Amino acid sequence: MAKMSNRNNMTDSLVLTPMETARLLRIGRGTVYEQIRLGVIPSIRMGRRILVPKVALQRMLERAKGEGADQ
């Protein structure tokens, strides 16, 4: 039951943790942190926490999709 609740929280939340972002993008957690550090994955810092705004992540993916279509 906790698993289902966690999934609902991820879909309802405005932000994702780096671990949720990794799961969603199907990449490693270390890769997420590296891409955040490089500015590729948009993020905000709230105290010691790093959060990825869902809307910004979706925009990033849309831009990447558009760039891929040009090639």
CATH code of the domain containing 56: 1.10.1660
Any idea what DSSP says for residue 17? Answer: -
Q: What is the band of 1 on the pLDDT scale with cuts at 50, 70, 90? A: very low
- Kindly state whether residue 36 falls inside one of the protein's structural domains: yes
Q: How far apart are CA 52 and CA 71, in angstroms?
A: 28
Backbone angles phi, psi at 47, to 5 degrees: 65, -125
Structure tokens at 28: 């490693």
Q: What is the pLDDT of residue 60?
A: 94
The residue segments making up the domain with residue 52 are 2-66
Residue 5 has pLDDT above 80, yes or no: no
What does the pLDDT read at residue 67?
A: 84
Condensed to tens digits (0 to 9), the pLDDT of residues 44-69 reads 999 999 999 999 999 999 999 888 76
Q: Per the domain annotation, does 41 fall within a domain? A: yes
- Residue 71 maps to a domain: no
Q: Look over the chain and give the mean of its residue pLDDT values, rounded to a whole number.
A: 88
